[in-house]
């Protein structure tokens, strides 16, 4: 508690001088671009008006970071912990309770949810999406179930892809380097009258670690088309296909031997119709279908076949209406119906057919500006889940605008995470028992935030103090009194998570950018693993300098303290990782080329990610891209 008080004092020490600087601004200072986001409330809002803290990862950050895997980009968000785990999965956590499944985040790609209903995880590795086709990522730091329902438990990661109009023409790129870090992308963007489209074909190869087999070869197709039917109507279609050949396992490990030619992949189809009725009203209707699969089996001694094969699917229909009720009030409301399921091997659901469930949602968010200094955001999600019945997720936020560029925000909200098919119905006589009548996890979150754009210094500050009370956390425990490990899920834990995080973006000159993130977190819990599931200190920074002659240099610093990865992970030691990128752009016969070299973990430290056997060490790769 003393540490948190010190952070409150430190935050106020930062806010006071910033407020005084705001009084020196002139009228012309307010014409600079102010970031607009959609993910906090489903309404387009400047960051000063949002009911939650939002970090924007833009195209410059994506490029200069040198990262090639989408989860790595979340290292640029204050308070996030990221690790490549094993079995070709990634773990992503925010302020604790991080595991290999990312199960307490709502992850969206162009408005469709990509977490798998069977186990609640996000299979980042075969999202049919190239990192170069991302326009930006909006990360809502904190529970946001009032806008996006269950699984928006600790936050929302909304990946927004590039509009076809942004990428007209031909683009090729490739990377090659150590640890079999290879990639190829071919993209074409074109148009025909009112129809615009882009088509990307790409393939990625990865070797993750030296200590055991973690090799992937993933092929993807990604298509997006937009057709303007009239001045008011537009249809958008997204199609993605992913196929992967994986190799994983440990040499000589009876329960996890090396397996070759593990097949995985998925498909997604999404269509959205949008109509702008008038300057105050628009509505949209969206449908999407997703399917993900894994085919993996092997023989153990005694010719006993073990299969981890599984298939997940989801069909979702959503209607949304946005109304400007008057000059002071805007509202978004809608309804959603979802059918989803999983069909998995006897290792997970012994003797069972496919498990399916239907879910319905009603939501509404309202923004009211009684005068120039106050913004009130209220929202609620009513959700009927096939396991837990009807839950309500309300939120109320009040923003006080000190000036158009400086705001203080206070908010309180509630969110739920519904149990997965596996947590409730898993059955394996040698490994799992059904969890039965599990309750949804519940979090009540309180936040005090400050957002500022200091124009004379071209400096952005986003800071928040938070207190999250988490109850009925689902975990598994060994229920067999003998030597055999039999796991069963229960609502067995609770946690109080408190702390502060801050992001600073500074551009002192047009040639230099600096982004710094820091989070300090303290967790009290009846479960020691959860209590230690976040590093006490979490820091990252990315600096970019644009030189003459088309040269660009950037460096990233990522520093985490000791933490415990829950649900089967290890306690990993703190580490400091340094990455660097050097690139040059030039034009050749009217075409643009870029050559880059990226080094990761350039210090002397070899650090562990999620498991102490997952040792990440120095690696270098080069990249080349063409546009014409």
Q: Please determine, for residue 561, whether its predicted confidence score (pLDDT) is greater than 50.
A: yes
Q: Please determine, for residue 14, whether its predicted confidence score (pLDDT) is greater than 50.
A: no
Q: What is the CATH classification number for the domain harbouring 589?
A: 2.40.170.20
Q: Categorize the per-residue pLDDT at 442 as very low, low, confident or very high, splitting at 50, 70 and 90.
A: very high
Cα 93 from Cα 109, distance rounded (Å): 18
* Ramachandran sector of residue 531 (left: φ over 0; alpha: ψ -120 to 50; beta: rest): alpha
Q: What is the mean pLDDT of residues 119-124?
A: 88
Q: Please determine, for residue 22, whether its predicted confidence score (pLDDT) is greater than 50.
A: no
Domain-embedded: residue 171: yes
- Using CA atoms, how far residue 397 sits from 144, 186, 344, 416, in Å, is 12, 44, 42, 18
- pLDDT of 255 reads 60
What's the token pair of residue 124? Answer: 């980042």
CA-closest candidate to residue 294, choices 239, 216, 199: 216
Three-point CA angle 617, 115, 117, nearest 5°: 130
Kindly report, residue by residue over 470-479, the tens digit of the pLDDT: 999 999 998 9
Question: Between residues 457 and 567, which one has the greater pLDDT?
Answer: 457
Question: Between residues 588 and 284, which one has the greater pLDDT?
Answer: 284
Domain-embedded: residue 244: yes
Beta carbons of 576 and 50 less than 8 angstroms apart: no
If one counts the domains in the chain, the total is 1
What's phi and psi for 568, nearest 5 deg?
100, -5
Cα 100 from Cα 612, distance rounded (Å): 14
Q: Categorize the per-residue pLDDT at 1 as very low, low, confident or very high, splitting at 50, 70 and 90.
A: very low
For 346, residues 6+ apart whose C-beta sits below 8 A from its C-beta are 307, 428
Best mean pLDDT range from 76-90, 275-289, 292-306: 275-289
Q: Please determine, for residue 615, whether its predicted confidence score (pLDDT) is greater than 50.
A: yes
Q: Categorize the per-residue pLDDT at 3 as very low, low, confident or very high, splitting at 50, 70 and 90.
A: very low
Least confident of 138-147, 263-272, 604-613: 604-613
Least confident of 39-53, 283-297, 459-473, 474-488: 474-488
Domain-embedded: residue 370: yes
Q: Please determine, for residue 29, whether its predicted confidence score (pLDDT) is greater than 70.
A: no
Beta carbons of 582 and 596 less than 8 angstroms apart: yes
Beta carbons of 492 and 474 less than 8 angstroms apart: yes
What's the token pair of residue 314? Answer: 């989801």
- pLDDT of 423 reads 94
| Beta strands, E only, 250-309 | 259-278, 281-295, 297-300, 304-307
- Using CA atoms, how far residue 505 sits from 146, 300, 401, 454, 457, in Å, is 28, 54, 20, 10, 10
Q: Categorize the per-residue pLDDT at 574 as very low, low, confident or very high, splitting at 50, 70 and 90.
A: very high
For 497, residues 6+ apart whose C-beta sits below 8 A from its C-beta are 95, 96, 466, 467, 468, 470, 521, 522, 523, 534
- pLDDT of 245 reads 86
Cα 433 from Cα 308, distance rounded (Å): 17
Least confident of 5-14, 363-372, 419-428: 5-14
Q: Please determine, for residue 25, whether its predicted confidence score (pLDDT) is greater than 90.
A: no
What's the token pair of residue 66? Answer: 């040198």
Q: Categorize the per-residue pLDDT at 99 as very low, low, confident or very high, splitting at 50, 70 and 90.
A: confident
The 3-state secondary structure of 432-479, one letter per residue = EECCCCCCCEEEEEEEEEEEEEEHHHCEEEEEEEEEEEEEEEEEEEEC
Write down how long the chain is: 628
Beta carbons of 198 and 186 less than 8 angstroms apart: no
Q: In sequence order, what DSSP letters do the residues of 69-102 get, joined into one string?
A: SGGGGGGGSTTEEEEE-STT-EEEEESS---TT-
Q: Please determine, for residue 360, whether its predicted confidence score (pLDDT) is greater than 80.
A: yes
What's the token pair of residue 551? Answer: 């040269």
Domain-embedded: residue 344: yes
Q: What is the DSSP letter of 120?
A: -
Kindly report, residue by residue over 179-216, the tens digit of the pLDDT: 788 999 999 999 999 999 999 999 998 887 765 567 88
Residue 421, Cα to own-chain centre: how many angstroms? 22
Domain-embedded: residue 50: yes
Q: What is the mean pLDDT of residues 476-490?
A: 89
Q: Categorize the per-residue pLDDT at 249 as very low, low, confident or very high, splitting at 50, 70 and 90.
A: low
Cα first-last separation, the chain: 57
Domain-embedded: residue 386: yes
**Mean pLDDT score of the chain, rounded to an integer?**
89
Q: What is the DSSP letter of 550?
A: G
Kindly report, residue by residue over 74-88, the tens digit of the pLDDT: 999 999 999 988 767
* Ramachandran sector of residue 567 (left: φ over 0; alpha: ψ -120 to 50; beta: rest): left
Cα 459 from Cα 563, distance rounded (Å): 32
Q: Please determine, for residue 28, whether its predicted confidence score (pLDDT) is greater than 70.
A: no
For 229, residues 6+ apart whose C-beta sits below 8 A from its C-beta are 194, 235
| Domain extent at residue 592 | 2-352+364-627
- pLDDT of 302 reads 65
What's phi and psi for 59, nearest 5 deg?
-65, -35
Percent of the chain clearing pLDDT 90 (strictly above)? 72
Domain-embedded: residue 298: yes
Q: Categorize the per-residue pLDDT at 484 as very low, low, confident or very high, splitting at 50, 70 and 90.
A: confident
Kindly report, residue by residue over 123-163, the tens digit of the pLDDT: 888 788 999 999 999 999 999 999 999 889 999 999 999 99
- pLDDT of 136 reads 95
Least confident of 15-19, 414-418, 566-570: 15-19
Percent of the chain clearing pLDDT 70 (strictly above)? 91
Question: What 3-state class would DSSP assign to 476?
Answer: strand
Beta carbons of 321 and 334 less than 8 angstroms apart: yes
For 430, residues 6+ apart whose C-beta sits below 8 A from its C-beta are 484, 486
Domain-embedded: residue 359: no
Q: Categorize the per-residue pLDDT at 33 as very low, low, confident or very high, splitting at 50, 70 and 90.
A: low
- pLDDT of 262 reads 82
Cα 318 from Cα 288, distance rounded (Å): 9
């Amino acid at each position: 508690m003393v540490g948190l008080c010190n952070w409150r004092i430190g935050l106020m020490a930062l806010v006071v001088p910033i407020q005084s600087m705001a009084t020196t601004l002139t009228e012309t200072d307010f014409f600079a671009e102010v970031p607009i986001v959609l993910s906090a409330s489903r309404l387009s809002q400047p960051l000063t008006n949002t009911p939650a803290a939002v970090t924007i990862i833009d195209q410059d950050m994506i490029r200069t970071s040198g990262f090639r895997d989408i989860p790595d980009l979340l290292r640029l968000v204050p308070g996030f912990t990221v690790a490549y785990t094993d079995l070709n999965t990634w773990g992503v956590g925010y302020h604790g309770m991080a595991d290999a499944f990312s199960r307490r985040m709502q992850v969206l790609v162009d408005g469709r949810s990509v977490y798998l209903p069977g186990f609640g995880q996000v299979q980042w590795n075969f999202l049919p999406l190239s990192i170069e086709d991302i326009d930006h990522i909006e990360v809502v730091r904190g529970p946001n179930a009032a806008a996006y329902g269950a699984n928006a438990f600790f936050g929302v990661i909304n990946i927004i892809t590039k509009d076809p109009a942004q990428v007209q023409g031909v683009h090729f790129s490739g990377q090659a380097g150590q640890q079999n870090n290879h990639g190829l992308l071919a993209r074409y963007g074109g148009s025909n009258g009112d129809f615009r489209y882009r088509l990307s074909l790409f393939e990625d190869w990865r070797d993750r670690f030296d200590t055991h087999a973690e090799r992937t070869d993933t092929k993807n197709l990604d298509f997006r088309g937009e057709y303007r039917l009239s001045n008011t109507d537009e249809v958008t279609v997204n199609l993605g296909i992913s196929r992967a050949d994986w190799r994983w396992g440990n040499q000589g490990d009876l329960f996890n031997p090396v397996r070759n030619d593990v097949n995985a992949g998925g498909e997604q189809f999404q269509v959205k119709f949008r109509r702008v009725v008038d300057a105050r009203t628009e509505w949209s209707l969206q449908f999407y279908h997703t399917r993900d699969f894994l085919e993996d089996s092997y023989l153990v001694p005694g010719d006993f076949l073990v299969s981890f094969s599984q298939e997940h699917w989801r069909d979702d229909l959503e209607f949304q209406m946005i109304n400007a009720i008057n000059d002071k009030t805007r509202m978004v409301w809608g309804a959603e119906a979802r059918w989803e399921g999983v069909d998995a091997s006897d290792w997970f659901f012994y003797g069972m057919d496919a498990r399916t469930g239907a879910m319905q949602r009603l939501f509404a968010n309202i923004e009211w500006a009684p005068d120039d200094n106050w913004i009130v955001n209220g929202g609620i999600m009513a959700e009927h889940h096939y396991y837990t019945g009807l839950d309500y997720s309300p939120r109320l936020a009040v923003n006080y605008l000190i000036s158009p560029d400086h705001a203080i925000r206070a908010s309180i909200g509630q969110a739920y995470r519904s149990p997965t098919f596996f947590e409730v119905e898993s059955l394996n006589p040698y490994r799992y028992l059904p969890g039965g009548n599990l309750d949804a996890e519940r979090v009540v979150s309180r936040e005090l935030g400050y957002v500022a754009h200091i124009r004379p210094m071209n400096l952005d500050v986003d800071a928040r103090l938070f207190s999250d009370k988490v109850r009925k956390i689902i975990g598994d425990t060994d229920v067999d009194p003998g030597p055999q490990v039999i796991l069963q899920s229960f609502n067995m834990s609770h946690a109080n998570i408190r702390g502060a995080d801050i992001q600073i973006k500074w551009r002192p000159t047009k040639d230099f950018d600096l982004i710094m993130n820091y989070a300090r977190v303290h967790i009290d819990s009846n479960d020691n693993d959860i209590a230690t599931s976040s590093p006490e200190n979490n820091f990252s920074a990315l600096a970019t300098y644009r030189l003459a002659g088309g040269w660009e240099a950037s460096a990233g610093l990522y520093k985490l303290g000791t933490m415990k990865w829950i649900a089967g992970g290890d306690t990993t030691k703190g580490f400091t990782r340094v990455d660097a990128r050097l690139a040059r752009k030039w034009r050749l016969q009217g075409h643009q080329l870029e050559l880059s070299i990226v080094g990761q973990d350039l210090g002397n430290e070899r650090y562990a990610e999620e498991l102490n056997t997952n040792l990440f060490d120095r690696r270098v790769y080069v990249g080349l891209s063409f546009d014409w």
